[in-house]
Chains A and B, each alone.
Chain A
Amino acid sequence: EPEVTQTPSHQVTQMGQEVILRCVPISNHLYFYWYRQILGQKVEFLVSFYNNEISEKSEIFDDQFSVERPDGSNFTLKIRSTKLEDSAMYFCASSPRGGQFNEQFFGPGTRLTVL
């Protein structure tokens, strides 16, 4: 069964450093998403991406964040200058072509720890 993969599973970084989280969505999916979940809190939407551009983003997704689909398979989230409060689990998700019922399939997540 096809699945969303994410690397690395755990990333430790120093405050102020740049990190890139990587995702490989399911191959025939067209819509891609990033979420974060701070430990003990709810899943929060960050951004959705379609046709090589951002479709929607939340207030969390400020200028420190960017997304890219550099080739036909990878989907990345970059945090330019990490802060302590960026420590969280980051989930990538993908969804098949459009429609009202946009079921999303989540990757296993990358745990980001900012020291």
Chain B
Amino acid sequence: RKEVEQDPGPFNVPEGATVAFNCTYSNSASQSFFWYRQDCRKEPKLLMSVYSSGNEDGRFTAQLNRASQYISLLIRDSKLSDSATYLCVVTGYSSASKIIFGSGTRLSIRP
């Protein structure tokens, strides 16, 4: 089983749609979880951290399910500018812990 697994997509949805991504991780000792977005040939940029209680930032909602070892990202009212690859990131407890990136889910928003 891969350490961090994501559906590669691509997800092709119309503007205004709601889209959801899932990510599963294999190490039950993982502590920190993030969603990053990466535009083509650019660096990853932090989208949001994922907290145990779930968290929301505008149109974006992230959830963590430790029992099932997955995290999710929900994008509501999608915009053309949301087109990117979304990376699930899992780390250990400290800032020096090994960081594992998923392969990413590609999202394309059409007008």
Q: Which residues of A contact B (CB under 8 A)?
A: 30-31, 33, 35, 41-45, 48, 50, 55-56, 58, 89, 91, 95, 97-109
Beyond contacts A31-B96, A50-B95: 8 other A-B pairs, Cβ-Cβ < 8 A, are: A43-B44, A43-B101, A44-B101, A45-B99, A56-B96, A95-B95, A102-B95, A103-B34
What residues on B are CB-neighbors of A45 within 8 Å? 98-101
Say whether A102 contacts B101, CB under 8 Å: no
What residues on A are CB-neighbors of B31 within 8 Å? 100
Q: Which residues of B contact A (CB under 8 A)?
A: 31-32, 34, 38, 41-46, 49, 87, 91, 93-104
Given contacts A102-B32, A102-B91, contact A91 B43 (CB under 8 A): yes
What residues on A are CB-neighbors of B99 within 8 Å? 33, 45, 48, 104
Top-6 shortest CB links A-B: A55-B96, A102-B95, A106-B43, A43-B101, A42-B103, A31-B95
